[in-house]
Structure 1
């Protein structure tokens, strides 16, 4: 991509993120309910577009079938861009690793979206996080998690970790599987992935340089309460649904990229 187009995208992204973001943040502080969600959703869609990407939603228009009933939204994890794409469909509370809070600008944005931070180095705090999520779900919130626990290259996914699924069981709410795919010229692409030795700046610039990037968000059928008796069974059900959407029923080995090298693991 030419330098002028790259500069234009950087300016557009910063304008939507900082200038328009301040206005949206002030509006969100004083307005609640449907109008708050509409404004936030349109802002996130504008931000996706400012980064040069186009959003495509497959399936349901939102994650939450009944606004008064909570839902645990479970997606695969490819990039920092995932949160922007998810909130562009429906603004929800996300669970993220604690390190993200320190990211420049994006960390502030993600924190302002009422993100629940998970400290993976102190697993003794996990029951408290699960309890916090269960409480939010019981109150009717839509809460999102990346069940793999880390980012993958986008051509395959990792095993869904069951721990946070306990919140859905405790709250008695459905789970909504969501599949994110990054496409260029109609084919899956790894350019948006944030993996291995990438820095946030490197990943941001790589996304801004991509031509024709499409972020496809597939909203799959809910897994109703009672379908699983344990968090492991629930995680397996949700992962099976996601893999059918990703691979069409084919068995694909998981791949993780480290410094440009693809390492394979059995799923």
Structure 2
């Protein structure tokens, strides 16, 4: 029975992806991003549901308009930061607050998911070019100032799901330039009440992860929305440290960013 249900879920995932691709290629080209956001928000939870996951959101987005429509009617959009574990992250996060994701350029060439990430307005960063960070930060600032939301993963890579990696502060400069609020969201996946690494695709082929998920009943995607951080009162390094500390506390994980900073200070002192 478990194999039968898992196989059915795989079929439904394929059909849902085809439907999302139809939206991206046949509907979204005729819409601006805000119109797309009103579609993305209700459609995004379908992927975790079809995969057999329960979605659990703790806390709330402070701006009621942004929470309902996916964008702020006045002022800057939110800069959302979150830990990165799985391809499911983007659907979980878009179900809370539709955003322009910041992702490595290589994802654009991925089969199926590359088209999806491009279609939802992802801002790509080319890590082979040093100037790309500056260009992406400027694109993020412009997007935030338009009232739309931007999300980046400050770990800079995919984590295992049972720990946080050290954060990188560079792109928080976009929030400071736009004077936008930073909204941390702490994400984890659980099974029978315990943190699970099953949905993580760190060093695991994407299709293998999908199979692991659909054949594992009872997985829960748990997202905790934390208090916004005021970028007008903190520089990018302070925001980076606060976000990491608050997310680590919410997840019950070690604050790897603080540990890395301490090691650097100790190393500098010993030299």
User: Same-fold call, TM > 0.5?
Assistant: yes
Three-state SS of the structure 2 residue aligned to 1:218 is strand
2:236 matched residue in structure 1 = 231
Q: Which moved more, 1:201-210 or 1:97-106?
A: 201-210
Three-state SS of the structure 1 residue aligned to 2:121 is coil
C-alpha contact 2:191 2:218 (8 A) present in aligned 1: yes
CA distance in 1, matches of 2:169, 2:256: 20
Task: Compute the displacement of 1:33 (Å).
Answer: 7.7
Q: Which runs of 4+ in 1 moved over 6 A?
A: none
Task: Compute the displacement of 1:126 (Å).
Answer: 1.2
1:222 matched residue in structure 2 = 228
1:3 matched residue in structure 2 = 3
> Unaligned stretches of 5+ in structure 1?
255-265
Three-state SS of the structure 2 residue aligned to 1:123 is coil
C-alpha contact 2:20 2:116 (8 A) present in aligned 1: no
Residue 70 (1) aligns with residue 77 (2):
yes
Which of 233, 246, 249 is the aligned partner of 2:251? 246
2:92 matched residue in structure 1 = 85
1:38 matched residue in structure 2 = 38
C-alpha contact 1:75 1:146 (8 A) present in aligned 2: yes
C-alpha contact 1:24 1:39 (8 A) present in aligned 2: no
- Mark the CA change 1:35 to 1:125 in structure 2 (over 3 Å): closer, same or farther: closer
- Mark the CA change 1:95 to 1:23 in structure 2 (over 3 Å): closer, same or farther: closer
CA distance in 2, matches of 1:203, 1:245: 26
CA distance in 2, matches of 1:240, 1:171: 23
- Mark the CA change 1:201 to 1:251 in structure 2 (over 3 Å): closer, same or farther: closer
Name the TM-score, length of structure 1 as normaliser: 0.86
Richer in helix (by share) = 2
Structure 1 residues 28-83: Cα deviation after superposition (integer angstroms, max 9, x where no partner)? 44455876433221211112211111111110057747443211000011111111
Residue 52 (1) aligns with residue 52 (2):
yes
- Mark the CA change 1:31 to 1:49 in structure 2 (over 3 Å): closer, same or farther: same
Task: Compute the displacement of 1:2 (Å).
Answer: 3.1
Name the TM-score, length of structure 2 as normaliser: 0.85
2:191 matched residue in structure 1 = 184
Q: Which moved more, 1:1-10 or 1:112-121?
A: 1-10
Structure 1 residues 88-133: Cα deviation after superposition (integer angstroms, max 9, x where no partner)? 1121100011111111111111110110111222223211111111
Residue 199 (1) aligns with residue 234 (2):
no
Which of 127, 150, 165 is the aligned partner of 1:143? 150
- Mark the CA change 1:20 to 1:105 in structure 2 (over 3 Å): closer, same or farther: closer
Richer in strand (by share) = 1
Task: Compute the displacement of 1:140 (Å).
Answer: 1.1
Q: How many equivalent residue pairs?
A: 252
C-alpha contact 1:62 1:89 (8 A) present in aligned 2: no
Task: Compute the displacement of 1:26 (Å).
Answer: 3.9
2:161 matched residue in structure 1 = 154
Query: Cα RMSD over matched residues?
Result: 2.3
2:268 matched residue in structure 1 = none
CA distance in 2, matches of 1:185, 1:160: 29
